[in-house]
Chains A and B, each alone.
Chain A
Amino acid sequence: MCAVRDLTKTYPAVRGRRGTPATPEVRATDGVDVDIRRGEIFGLLGPNGAGKTTLVRQLTGLMRPDRGSVEILGHDIVRHPERAARILAYLGQESSALDELTVSLAAETTGRLRGLDVRSARSERDAVLDELGLTALASRPLKKLSGGQRRLACFASALVGARPFLVLDEPTTGMDPVARRAVWGAVDRRRAEHGTTVLLVTHNVIEAETVLDRVAVLDRGRVIACDTPSGLKEQVAGEVRVELVWRERAPLDVPEVAALRDRAVESGRRWALRLAPEEARAAVAAVTGGAAFAALDDFTLATPSLEDVYLALGGSAGNVRGLVKT
């Protein structure tokens, strides 16, 4: 239902003026091909600056691509960007247009601007606020809410005036588990009842694993992998994730530990490694027996997660520690 072909967008270089350094041109999306099927929850995963927002802004008609095509439900969005607003609802990363409105007025106004009459805008507003547990906050201005509450209120606005396609740019940023659950519940309900398709930008790999039907991993403007979460995980199936936590610092005088260091992603006292099963067994034996054990605080063994997939794909030259913001 949404076909993207060879989508390319380069932000032009900006010449530096006094006090501001010049910025080189950035190819934010680079020949992206994506196919989203109807009724699917499709994820875009990738590190900061990978080009996720740039990609969805081109899908929503907000930005004209340099090259390539976008077709949503049979409509050519590059040629008719104004049609996007009549097919999809977009939740952007910014909320400044709604900030000074109350939750209830933000939702109602957005519904009316999606073509609802006053009566249906109000009843849909009430239903959505109730569904998301926002009724108690309805009369508060968005500006005076906490970050997660504000995000939830913006999400509510995106749902008033139903659309067959939802494009959500990091909808759950800053939300607690209850609010996140409300978001996924609402998304799921719309999919089950109306066949709504969802394109979701996220950093949260754990969420991605549980919610998404398929994921495209974006890195420096390119799709480096696209599959179901479990399909992606099969790519690193033969591997085990080992995490070691040292009491103070790693005992590098132990040769086995020193040998592991090259393969570890270090963050403070924490080492994360991806190893073949027999290597993992050997490593655990080495650190739990002998001299290294005194320096070890904790260790975990786990089957690979989507995060490991991302690391295995070599996102951003291998120096990225993972997709979960820390």
Chain B
Amino acid sequence: MSVVPAEVLPGSAVAQRDRVTVAEGGVRAVAELGARARLWPALAAVYRAQLSRARVARIPLLFVATFQSVGIMVLMRGVVDGGGEARAVVAGSSVLVVAFVALNLLAQYFGQLRASGGLDHYATLPVPPAAVVLGAAAAYASFTVPGTLVTAVVGCVLFQLPLTHLWILAAVIPLAGAALAGLGAALGLLAPRPELATLLGQLGMSAALLLGVLPPDRLPTVVQYARDLLPSTYGVEAFGLTFGADPDWGVVLLDLAVCAGVGVASLAVATWAYRRAAVR
């Protein structure tokens, strides 16, 4: 082991890093800070890493989510009689896949990460909190794409709905995904214990199932209010409307805008929750 006395270290590396400032007490060296990761590159790096771990660990769960939604649609076929109710069921079941992954699984992930001390890793890297939260949320949301598409197509075939406007999913998935993933991340980061995070995530998903899939006209008024509070509802509404013969695009846009607004708000809350959880 070579012992290098502090005084004879290679001057260049040391000297370049330091500038000397004069404080009241005398002269002291203040090192310049190392680089900070910028938002977008950091977000991209987190996204890529999260997507890769989701791919390894979560594919079976994606199958579960898709089968669940398809199963619900098959069940509901006997109950609803086409028309508006069928649209609501297909839209609700498709968005349910997003809720399963983005809300439920992300709440679990952040709950466990926090409990096991895994947040320390990110907290000791110079990365903006928003990059960690948004990167994870985006990865989980994009991970739902295949399941949501499959569910939507199967639903359209089952209930003889037109496939014409399925492109709207390109807006519905990211917006509902942002809203639900933000909610899931916030729940996971705020829950005092990981079991509680898991529980909250699953409750949130059950809510999305009950309030999103069941046709709203049949629900009691109180439950309809609860439905209006759930961020995924607006995604479901917007998607459902596009199955009509002549969709009212103004209303669709409005619904999507609400979804986007809720998404921004819930991701902001999640980022705040991350900051709170990271430094204790």
A contact set with B: CB distance below 8 Å: 37-40, 57, 60-64, 73-75, 81-90, 92-98, 100-102, 105-106, 108-110, 112-118, 141, 161, 163-164, 184, 188, 191-195, 210-211, 213
Q: Is the CB of B121 within 8 A of A64?
A: no
* Smallest Cβ-Cβ distance to A39: which chain B residue: B6
Q: Is B225 an interface residue (CB 8 A)?
A: no
* Smallest Cβ-Cβ distance to A187: which chain B residue: B1
Near A by CB (< 8 A), chain B positions 146-204 give: none
Q: Is the CB of B31 within 8 A of A192?
A: no
Q: Is the CB of A115 within 8 A of B56?
A: no
Q: Is the CB of A40 within 8 A of B46?
A: no
Q: Is B120 an interface residue (CB 8 A)?
A: yes
Q: Is B41 an interface residue (CB 8 A)?
A: yes
Interface residues on B, range: 35 or more
Known A38-B9, A96-B116, A195-B10: A101·B53 in contact at CB below 8 Å: yes
Q: What separation, in Å, do the CA atoms of A37 and B5 have in the docked complex?
A: 10
Residues of B within 8 A of A62 (CB): 120, 123-124, 278-280
B6 contact from A37, A141, A211, Cβ within 8 A: A37
Q: Is the CB of A64 within 8 A of B280?
A: yes
Q: What separation, in Å, do the CA atoms of A177 and B108 have in the docked complex?
A: 38
Near A by CB (< 8 A), chain B positions 236-257 give: none
Residues of A within 8 A of B57 (CB): 100
Known A105-B49, A109-B49: A39·B122 in contact at CB below 8 Å: no
Report B28-45 CB contacts with A as 1/0, cut-off 8 Å.
111101111110011001
Residues of B within 8 A of A161 (CB): 34-35
Residues of B within 8 A of A98 (CB): 121
Closest Cβ of chain B to A28, distance in Å, is 13
Known A109-B49, A210-B1: A100·B56 in contact at CB below 8 Å: yes
Q: Is the CB of B35 within 8 A of A114?
A: yes
Report B114-134 CB contacts with A as 1/0, cut-off 8 Å.
001111111111110001000
Q: Is B79 an interface residue (CB 8 A)?
A: no
Q: Is the CB of A194 within 8 A of B10?
A: yes
B113 contact from A39, A60, A63, A97, Cβ within 8 A: A97
Residues of B within 8 A of A116 (CB): 35
Closest Cβ of chain A to B9, distance in Å, is 4
Known A193-B13, A195-B14: A85·B125 in contact at CB below 8 Å: yes
Q: What separation, in Å, do the CA atoms of A110 and B6 have in the docked complex?
A: 29
Known A64-B280, A109-B49, A112-B42: A164·B123 in contact at CB below 8 Å: no
Q: Is the CB of A113 within 8 A of B52?
A: no
Of the A-B pairs whose beta carbons lie under 8 Å apart in the complex, a sample of 15, sorted by A's number, is A74-B28, A74-B31, A75-B31, A88-B124, A92-B121, A96-B112, A97-B122, A101-B49, A105-B49, A110-B121, A113-B42, A113-B46, A113-B125, A117-B41, A195-B4
Closest Cβ of chain B to A39, distance in Å, is 4
Q: What separation, in Å, do the CA atoms of A254 and B128 have in the docked complex?
A: 70
Residues of A within 8 A of B118 (CB): 94-97
Q: Is the CB of A192 within 8 A of B35?
A: no
Q: Is B17 an interface residue (CB 8 A)?
A: yes
Q: Is B48 an interface residue (CB 8 A)?
A: yes
Q: What separation, in Å, do the CA atoms of A211 and B2 have in the docked complex?
A: 9
Q: Given A63-B280, A113-B127, 9 more contacts at CB 8 Å?
A: A39-B5, A39-B6, A75-B33, A89-B124, A95-B121, A97-B118, A105-B48, A194-B10, A194-B13
Known A73-B30, A113-B45: A38·B124 in contact at CB below 8 Å: no
Closest Cβ of chain B to A69, distance in Å, is 13
Known A96-B112, A97-B121: A85·B1 in contact at CB below 8 Å: no
Known A38-B9, A96-B116: A90·B124 in contact at CB below 8 Å: yes
Residues of A within 8 A of B38 (CB): 115
Residues of A within 8 A of B56 (CB): 100, 141
* Smallest Cβ-Cβ distance to A118: which chain B residue: B41
Known A110-B125, A115-B34: A191·B42 in contact at CB below 8 Å: no
Closest Cβ of chain B to A174, distance in Å, is 17
Residues of B within 8 A of A93 (CB): 117
Q: Is B222 an interface residue (CB 8 A)?
A: no
* Smallest Cβ-Cβ distance to A189: which chain B residue: B2
Q: Is B3 an interface residue (CB 8 A)?
A: yes
Q: Is the CB of B116 within 8 A of A38?
A: no
Q: Is the CB of B31 within 8 A of A188?
A: no
Q: What separation, in Å, do the CA atoms of A187 and B35 have in the docked complex?
A: 21
Closest Cβ of chain A to B277, distance in Å, is 11
Residues of A within 8 A of B9 (CB): 38-39, 195
Q: What separation, in Å, do the CA atoms of A40 and B49 have in the docked complex?
A: 34
Residues of B within 8 A of A102 (CB): 52
Q: What separation, in Å, do the CA atoms of A114 and B56 have in the docked complex?
A: 25
- Residue of A95, A98, A109, A210 with most partner-chain B CB within 10 A: A109
* Smallest Cβ-Cβ distance to B3: which chain A residue: A213
Q: Is the CB of B3 within 8 A of A38?
A: no
Q: What separation, in Å, do the CA atoms of A117 and B41 have in the docked complex?
A: 8
Residues of B within 8 A of A92 (CB): 117, 120-121, 124
Residues of B within 8 A of A37 (CB): 6
Q: Is the CB of A40 within 8 A of B6?
A: yes
* Smallest Cβ-Cβ distance to B57: which chain A residue: A100
Residues of B within 8 A of A63 (CB): 279-280
Closest Cβ of chain B to A171, distance in Å, is 15
